[in-house]
Amino acid sequence: MFSPLIDELMSSLRCLPGVGPKSAQRMALYLLERDREGAARLASCLDKAVEGVGHCSRCRTLTEQPVCGICNNSRRDDSLLCVVETPADVLAMESAGTFQGKYFILMGHLSPIDGIGPADIGLDVLLSRLQAGNVEELILATNPTVEGEATAHYIADQAKAQNVKVSRIAHGVPLGGELEYIDGGTLAHALSSRRQI
Amino acid sequence: MFSPLIDELMSSLRCLPGVGPKSAQRMALYLLERDREGAARLASCLDKAVEGVGHCSRCRTLTEQPVCGICNNSRRDDSLLCVVETPADVLAMESAGTFQGKYFILMGHLSPIDGIGPADIGLDVLLSRLQAGNVEELILATNPTVEGEATAHYIADQAKAQNVKVSRIAHGVPLGGELEYIDGGTLAHALSSRRQI
């Protein structure tokens, strides 16, 4: 319907998550009609990011520096290491504002069915970091999904073999949540993990 | 929170319509983690489109060719000209599948308050096309908004001065709509435009 260049732009916009044919059309026409400057800036940012962004050599997060800002921050506690699945999880943990240790980002989780093994999620890097002996406590904050739990168990076994203290973040009823709307699995977990007060 | 290149990518993704800070973050991390190829392709498509796409010299729609596909289509009726506001409106009209004439795209509507006058929406081009004498009927399909109606009235006056037949698409209850949920303005219009059967 549209000219080839515009059709091509629409189909390439669909690589963005959550963007279907209608949104892609709206985005392409909007950019061409009203914000060509923004489109050009977006193109150059995409190019620069694809070219420049790699992984932090210590925590594996996405960064264009050899070592990321958090790993480089000497005011953060080196003896506490929190394991999360993605860089977005780091952002979520930081928004809690109470964790002062460092992170290790798996960039995924163990998933033998997809061919993702321990080396693919950087567990060799994590192990050598534990062997170095600076880490006193390893906090497992992978997602409470089947794969996330399996990954947590696997890492816990490895860490215990290195005599590192291992903990898992608590799972239960979220603050502000109403019992009425919480699923049974979460409630069962909350009940079995109850604490004396 | 993230490294400068990633932060910059997130803020430039916000030029897309409907993309706020959370979606921009999700998009940037998704592209960097899982689809760098798609990101590179998107960057090159954006560059090519911003560089190459201009306006059709006959109907003003977005295209990288001097004259667009519809204007070049000799099987379409040159004597019927439909005036719409945007290229997306052309797509909507084409999806109806019954119009076999040609289009003229205003790329906006008259809006004196924003400094958009007749020349900005290409009415000089439209007038010279009417003066050429090929157009027998001008169908006004601007949006039924205050600005769209004003634009339609203005164009109708100009076309009548050229002795061109002018019509406006019908407004009323949409097919499949329920009277109960139609606003009063639309119903009043549907009533006053009733046809004898």
Digit-coded pLDDT (tens) for B131-147: 998 899 999 999 999 99
Which of the residues in chain A have pLDDT under 50? Answer: none
Looking at residue A29, its pLDDT comes to 93
Mean pLDDT, chain A, whole residue set = 92
Residues of B in contact with A41 (CB under 8 A): 12, 15
Report the chain A residue with the minimal C-alpha distance to residue B25. A88
Tell me how far apart the alpha carbons of residues B92 and B68 are, in angstroms, rounded to a whole number.
17
Q: Is A5 in Cβ contact with B17 (below 8 Å)? A: no
* Proportion of chain A above pLDDT 70, given as a percent: 100
Tell me how far apart the alpha carbons of residues A101 and A80 are, in angstroms, rounded to a whole number.
5
Which residues on adjacent β-strands are paired with residue A55? A62
How do residues A129-154 score in pLDDT, each as one tens digit? 999 988 999 999 999 999 999 999 99
How do residues A6-35 score in pLDDT, each as one tens digit? 999 999 999 999 999 999 999 999 999 989
Tell me how far apart the alpha carbons of residues B25 and B11 are, in angstroms, rounded to a whole number.
9
* Proportion of chain B above pLDDT 90, given as a percent: 79
Looking at residue A169, its pLDDT comes to 92
Of A72-86, A126-140, B113-127, B173-187, which range is least confident? B173-187
* Proportion of chain B above pLDDT 70, given as a percent: 100
Which residues on adjacent β-strands are paired with residue A54? A63
Looking at residue A1, its pLDDT comes to 73
Tell me how far apart the alpha carbons of residues B84 and B87 are, in angstroms, rounded to a whole number.
8
Tell me how far apart the alpha carbons of residues A96 and A113 are, in angstroms, rounded to a whole number.
33
Looking at residue A178, its pLDDT comes to 86
Which residues on adjacent β-strands are paired with residue A84? A105
Q: Is A36 in Cβ contact with B12 (below 8 Å)? A: no
Q: Is A68 in Cβ contact with B29 (below 8 Å)? A: no
pLDDT tier at B5, thresholds 50, 70, 90: very high
Looking at residue B179, its pLDDT comes to 86
Give the residue from A50, A55, A57 with the most B CB atoms within 10 Å of its CB, the best one to mutate: A50
Residues of A in contact with B105 (CB under 8 A): none
Who among A3, A35, A68 is closest to B63 (CB)?
A3
Mean pLDDT, chain B, whole residue set = 92
What domains lie within chain A, and their CATH numbers? 4-52 (1.10.8.420), 62-168 (3.40.1360.10)
Residues of B in contact with A16 (CB under 8 A): 16, 27, 30-31, 42
Tell me how far apart the alpha carbons of residues B9 and B24 are, in angstroms, rounded to a whole number.
8
Surface of B (162-181) touching A: CB under 8 A:
none
| Residue B1 confidence (pLDDT) above 80 | no
What is the arithmetic mean of pLDDT over B70-80?
93
* Side chain identity at residue A65, one-letter code: Q
What sign has the CA pseudo-torsion B148, B152, B153, B155?
positive
Surface of B (70-109) touching A: CB under 8 A:
86-88, 91, 94, 107
Pairing of strands A101-105, A77-84: parallel
- Give the count of Cβ contacts less than 8 A between chain A and B: 177
All residues at 6 or more sequence positions from B44 whose CB lies less than 8 Å from its CB, including other chains: A43
Looking at residue A75, its pLDDT comes to 94
Who among B1, B40, B65 is closest to A3 (CB)?
B65
Residues of B in contact with A47 (CB under 8 A): 40, 43
Tell me how far apart the alpha carbons of residues A67 and A58 are, in angstroms, rounded to a whole number.
6
